[in-house]
Amino acid sequence: EVGYHHRLRPGSELMFYFAGRTTEIVNDDLNAVFSPSLFRQCRFAGKPPPCGFLDRRTSSKTPNLTFQAAHYFKVDDFDFKYGVDFFGGRRNDELWIYYREDEVFPVEDPELIVQDPIVDRQDLSYRTFFFHSNYRARSNLVLTGGLNYEWSNDDNVFIGESDVVGADDQFNPIFGENNSDWRLNPQFGVLYNPVESSTLRAAVMRSRQPLVAGGSGGAFSRERLVPVHVNGFLSTLNEIELSRSWSYNLGWDQRIGRRSFIRTTAFWRDREIPHADTNPLGMPEPQLFEGDLYGAGVVWNQFVHRQVTLVTAYNFTQDEDLFSFRKNHEGSVSLYYINPRGVFF
């Protein structure tokens, strides 16, 4: 990956980012597939299991490219940021089933019997055009507005010429023609300081979880220049891909004396999760599942010493998605030490 930053003039900056990435994951599973016909031959030859169980090798390659560009500039009480994000990725899966000939019948020079590989290919791409602005209406009030245009394409919705297996088709339902979809996602925010020690943060956003080819080890984009939050509230979370959400966020930050700081947050995501079901003809058909996600949290920062901070946190979330309804309670206590020379732990 490589980036470039150029200051055109005071208050005006130009940024570029380009990245190329590829991964390959190979897994070998011994005795992973049961073969009834081979098992009968094994019994005829008097060979016990694992004879009759085939070995399996899977290979997944996920190359991808990302290009992002943005321009930031200030005009009086306004600051603006606009730009683009282009991403293209591919996942190629291959599956081999094999066994040794001498596992069934004794031969002098046994050969490795390998079936022709089963191939599954998934191509995806998406494009984002964004505009983001902050306006300082007063010395203690900042208003935020933004708009993202997002376009996605995925050829792995139904079995096609480049998609032989189609095993994961049901996980990427796209609503639209030519397996593509686009959305306009607005963002609004308010940052208000009623007094110097207190800050009210609020944000309302619409967002969509981007596509991923190959899961956590596959093709994905890192948002280097695209705004990913409003007043500290993330626009997308770790959700099922293509989930569509309206999120409502509220937070209160309070400084208490010179050594204590508390931050509270609450959020609610009104969410639609696309998935594939079957119609009366038995064909995959896109559906929408309405499942909310909401929660709250509090973090207490206490300066024990000039270089030592004690952080206590508690978070609660309730998540309703395709697979489960979960209530999570999470608490943590951390101690941080920072040395002026740059050493910390």
Rank 32-36, 39-43, 133-137, 323-327 by mean pLDDT and report only the highest: 133-137
Long-range contacts of 75-80 (CB under 8 A, 24+ apart): 75/11, 77/135, 77/136, 77/137, 78/133, 78/134, 78/135, 78/136, 79/133, 79/134, 80/131, 80/132, 80/133
- In terms of phi and psi (left: phi > 0; alpha: psi -120 to 50; beta: otherwise), the region of 196 is alpha
Confidence of residue 28 (pLDDT cuts 50, 70, 90): confident
Mean residue pLDDT of the chain comes to 81
| Structure confidence at residue 217 as a pLDDT band (50, 70, 90) | very low
Concatenating the DSSP letter of every residue in 123-180 gives EEEEEEEEEEEEEEEETTEEEEEEEEEEEEEES-SS-BTTBSS-TTGGG----SGGGE
d(CA 118, CA 163): 10
Q: With beta carbons less than 8 A apart as the criterion, state whether 3 and 16 touch.
A: yes
How wide is the angle at C-alpha 315 spanned by C-alphas 227 and 303, nearest 5°?
A: 85
| pTM of the shown model | 0.74
β-bridge partners, 233: 230
Q: What is the pLDDT of residues 309-320, one digit of tens each?
A: 999 999 999 988
Residue 102 gets the label, from left (phi > 0), alpha (psi -120 to 50) or beta, of alpha
Q: Which one of 52-66, 164-178, 206-220, 303-317 scores highest in mean pLDDT?
A: 303-317
Mapping DSSP to helix (H, G, I), strand (E, B) and coil, where does residue 99 land? strand
CA-to-CA distance for 81 and 133, rounded, in angstroms?
A: 6
Contact 284/173 with Cβ under 8 angstroms?
yes
End-to-end CA distance of the chain: 29
At 248 the three-state DSSP class reads strand
Spatial distance between the Cα atoms of 22 and 90, rounded to a whole number of angstroms: 9
Query: At 160, is the pLDDT very low, low, confident or very high (cuts 50, 70, 90)?
Result: very low
- Asked if 266 and 314 count as a contact pair (C-beta separation under 8 A), the reply is no
pLDDT tier at 117, thresholds 50, 70, 90: confident
Q: Phi first, then psi: what are they for 90, rounded to 5°?
A: -145, 145
Query: pLDDT tens digits for 55-73?
Result: 888 888 888 888 999 999 9
- Report residue 276's pLDDT band, with 50, 70 and 90 as the boundaries: low
Residue 163: pLDDT over 50: no
Position 153, amino acid: N
Instruction: Work out the average pLDDT over 145-157.
Output: 76
